[in-house]
Amino acid sequence: MNSTVTISQLQSQTPKIVRETERKGMVAVTRHGRVAAFLISRSRVEGMIETLEILAEPEAMKAIRQYEAGEAKMKGVESLDD
């Protein structure tokens, strides 16, 4: 299956397209040859929300910038318990 479907395909094959979306993460839905909407999997949306939460956290962004600039080293997740 393609990662783009028409509205007619979505109407007639919803369960199949939903399963495919869960696997691929996202499917574009077209109407008259143009993308009208996106069907996005739960895991993709949860990832997007997590990313937005990190971007909104000043301390997290400061740590990321420091790491990218070579000013900080990566720590293991076990350090989160400290």
Q: What is the pTM of this model?
A: 0.70
**C-beta neighbour count of 39 within 10 angstroms:** 19
From residue 29, alpha-carbon distances to 14, 23, 36 in Å are: 12, 16, 6
75 pLDDT exceeds 70?
yes
Instruction: Pick 82 or 68 by higher pLDDT.
Output: 68
- What is the model's pLDDT at position 76? 75
Q: Which residues contact 44 (CB under 8 A, 6 or more apart)?
A: 25, 26
Instruction: State the CATH class of domain 4-40.
Output: alpha beta
pLDDT at 52 over 80: yes
How is the beta sheet containing 34-40 ordered, strand by strand? Answer: 4-6, 26-31, 34-40
Q: Which sequence spans correspond to the domains of the chain?
A: 4-40, 43-72
